[in-house]
Amino acid sequence: MVVCTLGDLLLDVIVRLDAPLTQGDDAVATTTLAPGGQAANVATWARALGAQARVVAVQADDDAGVIVRRELSARAVDVRGPSGDRTGVVVSLVQPDGERTMASDRGSAPDLRAQDLEAEWLECDALHLSGYSLMRVPIAGAAERAAALAREHGARVSVDLSSWTHIRSSGEAMRETLARIRPDVVFGNEREWEAIGGVVTSVRVVKRGARGISVDGDEHAAVPAEAVDSTGAGDALAAGFIVGGARLALETAARCVAQVGAMP
Protein backbone atom coordinates (compact mmCIF):
# COMPACT_ATOMS: atom_id res chain seq x y z
CA MET A 1 0.00 0.00 0.00
CA VAL A 2 1.24 3.49 -0.88
CA VAL A 3 0.07 6.35 1.34
CA CYS A 4 0.67 9.90 0.16
CA THR A 5 0.09 12.97 2.30
CA LEU A 6 0.00 16.68 1.45
CA GLY A 7 0.37 19.60 3.82
CA ASP A 8 2.97 21.16 6.07
CA LEU A 9 6.52 19.91 6.58
CA LEU A 10 7.58 21.45 9.90
CA LEU A 11 10.01 21.21 12.79
CA ASP A 12 8.37 20.28 16.09
CA VAL A 13 9.87 21.71 19.26
CA ILE A 14 8.37 19.63 22.06
CA VAL A 15 8.62 21.11 25.55
CA ARG A 16 7.58 18.62 28.22
CA LEU A 17 6.90 20.41 31.51
CA ASP A 18 7.63 18.91 34.91
CA ALA A 19 4.91 21.10 36.44
CA PRO A 20 2.18 23.42 35.09
CA LEU A 21 3.35 26.84 33.93
CA THR A 22 2.96 29.76 36.30
CA GLN A 23 3.21 33.32 35.00
CA GLY A 24 6.63 34.81 35.73
CA ASP A 25 8.06 31.47 36.86
CA ASP A 26 11.07 29.58 35.45
CA ALA A 27 9.70 26.13 34.67
CA VAL A 28 11.78 22.95 34.45
CA ALA A 29 11.23 21.09 31.17
CA THR A 30 12.65 18.52 28.75
CA THR A 31 12.90 19.76 25.15
CA THR A 32 13.23 17.66 21.99
CA LEU A 33 13.31 18.40 18.25
CA ALA A 34 11.55 16.25 15.65
CA PRO A 35 10.00 16.51 12.17
CA GLY A 36 6.33 17.41 12.31
CA GLY A 37 3.24 18.75 10.62
CA GLN A 38 0.15 16.62 9.99
CA ALA A 39 1.33 15.44 6.59
CA ALA A 40 4.69 14.26 7.90
CA ASN A 41 3.18 12.69 11.01
CA VAL A 42 0.57 10.66 9.13
CA ALA A 43 3.09 9.51 6.53
CA THR A 44 5.59 8.41 9.17
CA TRP A 45 3.02 6.42 11.13
CA ALA A 46 1.75 4.83 7.91
CA ARG A 47 5.33 3.78 7.13
CA ALA A 48 5.72 2.34 10.64
CA LEU A 49 2.56 0.30 10.02
CA GLY A 50 4.04 -1.25 6.88
CA ALA A 51 2.88 1.04 4.09
CA GLN A 52 5.10 2.92 1.68
CA ALA A 53 4.81 6.62 2.49
CA ARG A 54 5.37 9.90 0.70
CA VAL A 55 4.99 13.52 1.83
CA VAL A 56 4.26 16.29 -0.67
CA ALA A 57 5.12 19.68 0.80
CA VAL A 58 7.24 22.80 0.39
CA GLN A 59 10.84 22.16 1.46
CA ALA A 60 13.32 24.78 2.63
CA ASP A 61 17.12 24.55 2.81
CA ASP A 62 17.43 26.24 6.20
CA ASP A 63 18.72 24.46 9.30
CA ALA A 64 15.25 23.34 10.37
CA GLY A 65 14.60 21.89 6.92
CA VAL A 66 17.84 19.90 7.01
CA ILE A 67 16.82 18.34 10.34
CA VAL A 68 13.33 17.51 9.11
CA ARG A 69 14.47 15.82 5.88
CA ARG A 70 17.23 13.88 7.65
CA GLU A 71 14.81 12.49 10.22
CA LEU A 72 12.16 11.56 7.64
CA SER A 73 14.79 9.86 5.50
CA ALA A 74 15.86 7.85 8.55
CA ARG A 75 12.23 6.72 8.87
CA ALA A 76 12.12 5.71 5.17
CA VAL A 77 9.57 8.39 4.24
CA ASP A 78 9.89 9.89 0.75
CA VAL A 79 9.68 13.69 0.57
CA ARG A 80 8.67 15.51 -2.61
CA GLY A 81 7.87 19.14 -3.30
CA PRO A 82 9.24 22.50 -4.42
CA SER A 83 11.79 24.66 -2.61
CA GLY A 84 10.64 27.34 -0.19
CA ASP A 85 12.21 30.11 1.86
CA ARG A 86 11.57 28.97 5.42
CA THR A 87 10.68 25.82 7.33
CA GLY A 88 7.80 26.32 9.75
CA VAL A 89 8.17 25.56 13.45
CA VAL A 90 5.58 24.30 15.93
CA VAL A 91 6.24 24.66 19.66
CA SER A 92 4.27 22.08 21.64
CA LEU A 93 3.93 22.63 25.40
CA VAL A 94 3.15 19.29 27.03
CA GLN A 95 1.64 19.39 30.51
CA PRO A 96 2.52 16.76 33.15
CA ASP A 97 -0.81 14.98 32.42
CA GLY A 98 0.05 14.67 28.71
CA GLU A 99 -2.25 17.41 27.44
CA ARG A 100 -0.62 19.87 25.07
CA THR A 101 -0.91 23.40 23.72
CA MET A 102 0.72 24.37 20.42
CA ALA A 103 2.08 27.59 18.92
CA SER A 104 2.39 27.23 15.15
CA ASP A 105 4.48 29.07 12.57
CA ARG A 106 3.80 27.49 9.15
CA GLY A 107 6.72 29.16 7.38
CA SER A 108 6.56 28.63 3.60
CA ALA A 109 4.21 25.62 3.80
CA PRO A 110 1.09 27.47 2.54
CA ASP A 111 2.97 28.55 -0.61
CA LEU A 112 2.55 25.15 -2.31
CA ARG A 113 0.83 25.71 -5.68
CA ALA A 114 -1.17 23.39 -7.92
CA GLN A 115 1.36 23.85 -10.73
CA ASP A 116 4.17 22.70 -8.42
CA LEU A 117 2.78 19.16 -8.31
CA GLU A 118 4.08 16.33 -10.48
CA ALA A 119 1.60 13.59 -11.34
CA GLU A 120 3.96 10.79 -10.30
CA TRP A 121 4.01 12.11 -6.73
CA LEU A 122 0.29 11.30 -6.45
CA GLU A 123 0.51 7.70 -7.66
CA CYS A 124 -0.84 6.12 -4.49
CA ASP A 125 -3.58 4.03 -2.90
CA ALA A 126 -4.54 6.68 -0.34
CA LEU A 127 -4.08 10.44 -0.21
CA HIS A 128 -4.41 12.24 3.12
CA LEU A 129 -4.85 16.01 3.16
CA SER A 130 -4.17 18.17 6.19
CA GLY A 131 -7.08 20.45 6.97
CA TYR A 132 -4.61 23.33 7.19
CA SER A 133 -3.96 22.82 3.47
CA LEU A 134 -7.60 23.69 2.70
CA MET A 135 -7.74 27.01 4.54
CA ARG A 136 -5.40 29.22 2.53
CA VAL A 137 -4.32 29.82 -1.04
CA PRO A 138 -2.37 28.75 -2.96
CA ILE A 139 -2.02 25.47 -1.05
CA ALA A 140 -5.78 24.85 -1.19
CA GLY A 141 -5.53 24.72 -4.97
CA ALA A 142 -2.65 22.25 -4.66
CA ALA A 143 -4.73 20.04 -2.37
CA GLU A 144 -7.62 20.06 -4.82
CA ARG A 145 -5.39 19.13 -7.76
CA ALA A 146 -3.64 16.46 -5.69
CA ALA A 147 -6.99 14.83 -4.95
CA ALA A 148 -7.85 14.76 -8.65
CA LEU A 149 -4.46 13.27 -9.59
CA ALA A 150 -4.63 10.64 -6.85
CA ARG A 151 -8.11 9.56 -7.86
CA GLU A 152 -6.84 8.91 -11.39
CA HIS A 153 -4.98 6.00 -9.77
CA GLY A 154 -8.00 4.84 -7.76
CA ALA A 155 -6.86 6.36 -4.47
CA ARG A 156 -9.18 7.11 -1.58
CA VAL A 157 -8.91 10.67 -0.30
CA SER A 158 -9.10 11.59 3.37
CA VAL A 159 -9.02 14.92 5.20
CA ASP A 160 -8.35 15.86 8.82
CA LEU A 161 -10.28 18.96 9.91
CA SER A 162 -7.24 19.94 12.01
CA SER A 163 -8.34 22.85 14.24
CA TRP A 164 -11.69 24.22 15.36
CA THR A 165 -10.15 27.66 15.99
CA HIS A 166 -8.84 27.87 12.43
CA ILE A 167 -12.16 26.59 11.10
CA ARG A 168 -13.90 29.49 12.83
CA SER A 169 -11.65 32.00 11.07
CA SER A 170 -11.27 30.23 7.69
CA GLY A 171 -14.20 27.86 7.67
CA GLU A 172 -16.00 29.16 4.61
CA ALA A 173 -12.94 28.70 2.38
CA MET A 174 -12.43 25.24 3.83
CA ARG A 175 -16.06 24.23 3.26
CA GLU A 176 -15.87 25.32 -0.38
CA THR A 177 -12.71 23.32 -0.99
CA LEU A 178 -14.14 20.27 0.80
CA ALA A 179 -17.24 20.46 -1.37
CA ARG A 180 -15.11 20.34 -4.51
CA ILE A 181 -12.80 17.57 -3.27
CA ARG A 182 -15.61 15.41 -1.80
CA PRO A 183 -13.26 13.35 0.43
CA ASP A 184 -14.01 9.69 1.06
CA VAL A 185 -13.07 9.95 4.76
CA VAL A 186 -13.06 12.98 7.08
CA PHE A 187 -11.48 12.97 10.55
CA GLY A 188 -12.24 15.53 13.23
CA ASN A 189 -12.78 15.88 16.95
CA GLU A 190 -16.15 16.93 18.33
CA ARG A 191 -15.35 20.66 18.38
CA GLU A 192 -14.03 20.53 14.81
CA TRP A 193 -17.16 18.78 13.54
CA GLU A 194 -19.32 21.31 15.36
CA ALA A 195 -17.37 24.19 13.81
CA ILE A 196 -17.36 22.87 10.22
CA GLY A 197 -21.02 21.85 10.05
CA GLY A 198 -22.12 19.62 7.17
CA VAL A 199 -19.47 17.90 5.04
CA VAL A 200 -20.18 15.56 2.13
CA THR A 201 -18.17 12.39 2.81
CA SER A 202 -18.61 8.62 2.67
CA VAL A 203 -17.07 8.00 6.12
CA ARG A 204 -17.24 10.37 9.10
CA VAL A 205 -14.75 9.70 11.90
CA VAL A 206 -15.20 11.59 15.18
CA LYS A 207 -12.14 11.55 17.44
CA ARG A 208 -13.15 11.48 21.12
CA GLY A 209 -9.78 11.23 22.87
CA ALA A 210 -9.87 8.80 25.78
CA ARG A 211 -13.42 7.81 24.76
CA GLY A 212 -12.25 6.38 21.45
CA ILE A 213 -13.83 7.17 18.10
CA SER A 214 -17.16 7.15 16.34
CA VAL A 215 -17.25 5.90 12.74
CA ASP A 216 -20.51 6.87 11.05
CA GLY A 217 -22.19 6.69 14.44
CA ASP A 218 -20.68 3.36 15.51
CA GLU A 219 -18.72 3.73 18.75
CA HIS A 220 -15.26 2.17 19.16
CA ALA A 221 -13.64 2.29 22.60
CA ALA A 222 -10.08 3.56 23.03
CA VAL A 223 -7.24 1.12 23.59
CA PRO A 224 -5.96 1.62 27.17
CA ALA A 225 -2.62 3.43 27.41
CA GLU A 226 -0.61 5.38 29.95
CA ALA A 227 -0.66 8.88 28.44
CA VAL A 228 2.74 10.55 28.33
CA ASP A 229 2.25 13.01 25.44
CA SER A 230 -0.85 13.48 23.28
CA THR A 231 1.09 15.30 20.53
CA GLY A 232 0.33 13.67 17.17
CA ALA A 233 -2.20 11.16 18.52
CA GLY A 234 -4.83 12.24 16.00
CA ASP A 235 -2.35 11.87 13.15
CA ALA A 236 -1.35 8.40 14.35
CA LEU A 237 -5.04 7.50 14.53
CA ALA A 238 -5.61 8.72 10.96
CA ALA A 239 -2.65 6.69 9.68
CA GLY A 240 -3.93 3.56 11.41
CA PHE A 241 -7.41 4.04 10.00
CA ILE A 242 -6.09 4.57 6.47
CA VAL A 243 -3.89 1.47 6.63
CA GLY A 244 -6.13 -0.91 8.55
CA GLY A 245 -9.42 0.54 9.80
CA ALA A 246 -10.81 1.47 13.21
CA ARG A 247 -9.06 -1.11 15.38
CA LEU A 248 -5.61 -0.35 14.01
CA ALA A 249 -6.39 3.38 14.30
CA LEU A 250 -7.05 3.06 18.04
CA GLU A 251 -4.03 0.82 18.63
CA THR A 252 -1.77 3.29 16.82
CA ALA A 253 -3.15 6.26 18.76
CA ALA A 254 -2.50 4.40 22.04
CA ARG A 255 1.04 3.69 20.91
CA CYS A 256 1.54 7.38 20.14
CA VAL A 257 0.30 8.79 23.46
CA ALA A 258 2.52 6.36 25.38
CA GLN A 259 5.67 8.04 24.02
CA VAL A 260 7.10 11.57 23.81
CA GLY A 261 6.67 13.17 20.39
CA ALA A 262 4.38 12.85 17.41
CA MET A 263 6.33 10.24 15.43
CA PRO A 264 7.33 6.61 15.95
264 domain residue, yes or no: no
Q: What is the pLDDT of residue 183?
A: 97
199 domain residue, yes or no: yes
What 241-246 contacts at long range (C-beta under 8 Å, 24+ apart), as own/partner pairs, is 241/158, 241/185, 241/187, 241/205, 242/3, 242/42, 242/46, 242/51, 242/126, 242/128, 242/156, 242/158, 242/185, 243/1, 243/3, 243/46, 243/49, 243/50, 243/51, 244/49, 246/213, 246/215, 246/220
177 domain residue, yes or no: yes
Cis before 138 (ω within 30): yes
161 domain residue, yes or no: yes
262 domain residue, yes or no: no
Q: What is the pLDDT of residue 173?
A: 87
Q: What is the dihedral of CA 18, 19, 21, 24, to 10 degrees?
A: -90
pLDDT < 70 stretches in the chain: none
- CA-CA distance, 185 to 88, in Å (whole number)? 27
Q: What is the pLDDT of residue 22?
A: 82
99 domain residue, yes or no: yes
Domain count, the chain: 1
102 domain residue, yes or no: yes
Please give the sequence-ordered ranges of beta strands (E in DSSP) within 82-164, or none if there are none.
83-84, 87-94, 100-107, 126-130, 156-160
CATH number of residue 90's parent domain: 3.40.1190.20
The residue range of the domain holding 100 is 2-257
32 domain residue, yes or no: yes
Q: How high does pLDDT run on average in the chain? A: 93
Q: What is the pLDDT of residue 163?
A: 85
- CA-CA distance, 189 to 165, in Å (whole number)? 12
Q: What is the pLDDT of residue 153?
A: 95
Closest CA to 234 of 259, 261, 207, 212: 207
Residues 12-37 have pLDDT tens digits of: 898 889 988 888 888 899 898 889 88
